[in-house]
Amino acid sequence: MATLLYRLGRFAFRRRHFTALFWVALLALAGVGAAGAPVAGNTSFSIPGTEAQKAFDVLEERFPGASADGATARVVFKAPAGEKMTDAGNKAIVRDTVEELSDGSEVARVTDPYQGGDVSRDGTVAYASVSYQVSGMELEESSRDSLEDAAEGARDAGLTVEIGGDALQAVPETGATEIIGIGVAAVVLVITFGSLVAAGLPLLTALIGVGIGVAGITALASTLELGSTTSILATMIGLAVGIDYALFIVSRYRAELAEGREREDAAGRAVGTAGSAVVFAGLTVVIALVGLSVVNIPMLTKMGIAAAVTVAIAVLIALTMVPALLGYAGRRVRAAGEKGKRRGREDEEKGNGTAKEKARRPNMGTRWARFVVRRPVAVLLLGVVGLGAAAIPASSLELGLPDDGSQPTSTTQRRAYDLLSEGFGPGFNGPLVVVVDAKNSDDPDAVFRQTGDDIKALDDVVSVSPAAPNKAGDTATITVVPDSKPSSVATEDLVHDIRDAGTGVKADTGADVLVTGATAMNIDVSQKLNDALVPYLTLVVGLAFLLLIVVFRSILVPLKAALGFLLSVMAALGAVVAVFQWGWLSGLMGVEETGPVMSMMPIFMVGVVFGLAMDYEVFLVTRMREAYVHGEKPDEAVVTGFRHGARVVSAAAVIMMAVFAGFIGSSESMVKMIGFGLAIAVFFDAFVVRMAIVPAVLALLGKKAWWLPKWLDRALPNVDVEGEGLRTEGDADAGEKGGSPDDRDLARV
């Protein structure tokens, strides 16, 4: 592989005009497609295989035209102090508002609170339900404006009015902190390379890659039903890995220049060595993201595949466009250490020591590696104990999906949620919809009554509505209001109790009793994600383990990499629980409301963090493997790997943390949580696991770290990540006769 990538790098360097034009044209094509694409259609959250989804499908079939997947809004009214909503004046205001709401072109129906009994017992709170013909993401802005205008009119008349529901759902915004994250990345690159041109290359190529990926997602959003969060996730991961992959190529290029190679040869060798690491690191990220399809949640699968495609684009750009831009940059990208050598000569002239003496001084990475090699047990224990302590909050992990109760108190959705809790009880914000399918029953009406009576006898039930049958009379819905809030354990227990009662009804009458609604759907999603976690871990870690065996030609190094990942991801989950569930440093992170951690966070974090963790493992340990293969002792190889890779890996980690942390400013709670979780996970994995635990373990293992059974060594393909085949490649190319160099490299590729 190293030889093939070497030739690809040289070809891209020589044919830089063609390479750059290809990627710019692809970006323009994707941009045109995005600009002309229709607005994304229905992005409903379907969960195949769950009871809540089955009930939802029955509703769509048996209640045609009910717009079961349409957006909903609850307009909540509260009377002024000393008044009631049943007063004649307040009634008139509410009915005028209901009439105004009914005029919307996308409105399916509006309920009058006085006809439906939607007034609290003390008479201070009432609400009108608005159902729309389209989903929240499809709803036109004019419909949202009409909803808010109607509410504002009632406010002007003297009532307190707030709006809840998904009708006000908007495209999430990431805020200015995303730009700050990119700015931090730029500063780190300038410090690392000491050159604006060299620092600009990774940023430019990463932005082009993300631009192509996000534009492609936008262009296909309507066709593939991709949500707005998909493009944000692709941007988050694409930026981080795109900058990192380009950073490693440029860094290796400067190191090759420092060894006296010509620029074209240096570009080829950079792609052949660091590029091999980029390919395998990218593969681990892609495996982790595509593996999310194991969960069988369409939205999560689409998010993972879209992000994986963006990562693949980042890999291809790093292998081709980076060497092309290095060709354009010419001498403006200097060899590594050239600036230090110039300063050394100046110091020598001033009598401050010779340049050779300064060159021999170990850098910080070398000093740290030597320290770890001398005290591996102490470093290993300190790292493991520290991560273990950070992981302790994860034992209190509570999972759930966000509702209006998790919104900031400054939003009208949250204030509507609080008003409904005040007037009707906390469970009113999460009603359960029980679907009774009595199509195979002899007496559907009797089944409906029996089901309602059985539910009334359960604990934690405030009210049970009369059964509302469809036109055929074979299916009915029953609305159950719990006594506890939607995200509580008591409400979850009630859902299971209703389903257990439904099993008895089915045994007696043959009718199916299904529980759905947002609360039941959340419970089913959490269960589905929990059930999928072990198979997902097995698949992703197993495939990546096999891949790393091929890369490192070792059993213990990949095993150590996987165990280190588990430490970092558990510590990161502990940090997420501490901030978003316990409220530690919540003000600093902009978390206005604590609550359960998002259900998909653990499995999503496992997938993404595993891929990113393997990035640093591949980049750092391949340098050690390269030194060991070339004859150095195990301890010396560890030090050599840190001398060449520690600074660059540290810079890459800081950049990735900055990019992820930039998304903490998002208005979308899921994006905010993912941004924080990934940023803290990168910190734990890069600076604790890869920089401390990994060298400590390798120092303790010695030669055993690189042991591989002979039969397996013969069976595995030789991918040559260390670039052993490049030792004579440059000389061989220089001695070739006939044909242009461009044509020779192109034919090889």
Q: Which residues of the chain have pLDDT under 70?
A: 38-46, 65-69, 135-137, 169-178, 222-225, 227-229, 337-361, 402, 592, 667-668, 720-749
pLDDT tens for residues 607-644?
777 777 777 787 788 888 878 887 889 899 999 988 87
Considering the entire predicted model, what is its pTM? 0.77
3-class SS of residue 666: coil
Q: Which residue has the tokens 């354990």?
A: 489
The percent helix, strand, coil of the chain (3-state, each to 5) is 70, 5, 25
Q: What is the DSSP string of 55-80?
A: HHHHHHHHSTTS-TTS-EEEEEEEPP
pLDDT tens for residues 68-103?
567 788 899 999 998 999 999 999 999 999 999 888
**Residue at 680: amino acid letter:** I
Contact 550, 488 (CB under 8 A): no
Structure tokens at 462: 């405030």
**Residue at 705: amino acid letter:** A
CA distances from 678 to 367, 417, 555 (A): 29, 30, 28
Question: What integer pLDDT is reported at residue 727 of this predicted model?
Answer: 61
Question: What integer pLDDT is reported at residue 196 of this predicted model?
Answer: 82
Angle 430-432-435 (CA atoms, 0-180°, nearest 5)?
A: 155
Cα(567)–Cα(209) distance, rounded to whole angstroms? Answer: 31
Name residues whose C-beta falls within 8 Å of residue 286's C-beta, 6 or more positions apart in sequence.
308, 311, 312, 611
CA distances from 41 to 34, 168, 214, 402 (A): 14, 16, 17, 22
Cα(523)–Cα(516) distance, rounded to whole angstroms? Answer: 10
β-bridge mates for residue 481, sequence order:
463
Structure tokens at 464: 């049970």
Cα(612)–Cα(245) distance, rounded to whole angstroms? Answer: 11
Strands (E), 119-248: 125-132, 160-164
